[in-house]
């Protein structure tokens, strides 16, 4: 018996999100990447099962993870302001 690709996607997504939860807080970028990949896998599964609430939840989850990853990537950058000319 072959496993359905969408069931496999759901299992992989769940495992990646669990791995992201277990990662230490100092590895926040890696955790966000795992959340994004896992959440995207669960979005595919949720479209397959046609569950609107689960689809919405996963889209929001992935967007929040992407937002947090962008914040983490820009955290180390220093903005240089140009001096005003009077």
Q: Which domain holds residue 33?
A: 5-75
Query: Is 30 within the bounds of a domain?
Result: yes
Query: Is 85 within the bounds of a domain?
Result: no
**Residue 42 and residue 14 in contact, taking contact as beta carbons nearer than 8 Å:** yes
* Residue 26 CB-density burial (10 A; 0-12 exposed, 13-18 middle, 19+ buried): exposed
Q: Which residue did the predictor score with more confidence, 15 or 3? A: 15
**Residue 62 and residue 43 in contact, taking contact as beta carbons nearer than 8 Å:** yes
Query: Is 32 within the bounds of a domain?
Result: yes
Mean pLDDT of the chain: 87
- Local confidence band at 75 (pLDDT 50, 70, 90 cut-offs): confident
Backbone region of residue 50 per phi and psi (left: phi > 0; alpha: psi in -120 to 50; beta: other values): left
Query: Is 21 within the bounds of a domain?
Result: yes
- Pull the structure tokens for residue 55: 């689809």
- Tens digits of residue pLDDT in 9-21: 999 999 999 999 9
The CA distance from 50 to 5, in Å, is: 15
Q: Which pTM does this prediction carry?
A: 0.80
Which is nearest to 43 in space by CA: 70, 67, 21, 65?
Answer: 65
Q: How many domains does the chain have?
A: 1
Query: Is 44 within the bounds of a domain?
Result: yes
According to DSSP, residue 50 is labeled T
Query: Is 39 within the bounds of a domain?
Result: yes
């Amino acid at each position: 018996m072959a496993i359905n690709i969408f069931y496999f996607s759901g299992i992989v997504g769940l495992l990646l999100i669990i791995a992201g939860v277990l990662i230490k807080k100092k590895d926040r970028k890696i955790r966000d990447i795992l959340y994004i990949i896992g959440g995207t896998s669960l979005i595919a599964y949720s479209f397959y099962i046609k569950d609107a609430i689960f689809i919405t939840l996963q889209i929001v989850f992935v967007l929040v993870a992407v937002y947090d990853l962008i914040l983490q990537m820009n955290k180390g950058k220093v903005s240089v302001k140009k001096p005003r000319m009077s």
